[in-house]
Amino acid sequence: MPAMIGETVPDIELPATGDKTVKLSDFRGQRLVLYFYPKASTPGCTQEGLDFTAAAADFAALNTAILGASRDGIKAQENFKAKQGFGFDLLSDKEETLCRAFDVIKLKKMYGKESLGVERSTFLIDEAGVLRREWRGVKVKGHVDEVLQAVRDLG
């Protein structure tokens, strides 16, 4: 059953950059922006990560952590984070546990071929671990500003 707005998100544990293991419950007491992207080190995913990094201090001032997640292995995530200087951790979800819990694995068409991939999506989770907002089929331009405004709107 995918995470639904108004419900507590599942407490999934995954490997993260910085040689860590992260559980969603680790962020209780603060807000969490969890964003999913299709593939590390691709142009759109790089820009989205840079946009979140540029706004990281604004999110932190609102007691809000940021996590990025994709199906990439932890080595690819470490390289992506280091090369781009992202100011937050990236999660490796090779088994698609988190992706499936948030229902972001979708059938995609590229060059006439269909395959299952991660739909660019963002989720805003409150201090109690309750899902408050979701954005699906995200377009990168202007997205981080919209998420930041939603965090401010939570009060």
99: annotated active-site residue:
no
27-46 b/e with 16+ CB inside 10 Å = b?
beeebbbbbbbbebeeeebb
Can you list the positions of beta strands (E) in the chain? Answer: 13-16, 20-23, 31-36, 64-70, 89-92, 105-110, 113-118, 121-125, 131-136
Check 9, 22, 45, 138 and give the catalytic one: 45
CB atoms within 10 A of CB 150: 16
Which sequence positions are flagged as catalytic?
Answer: 45
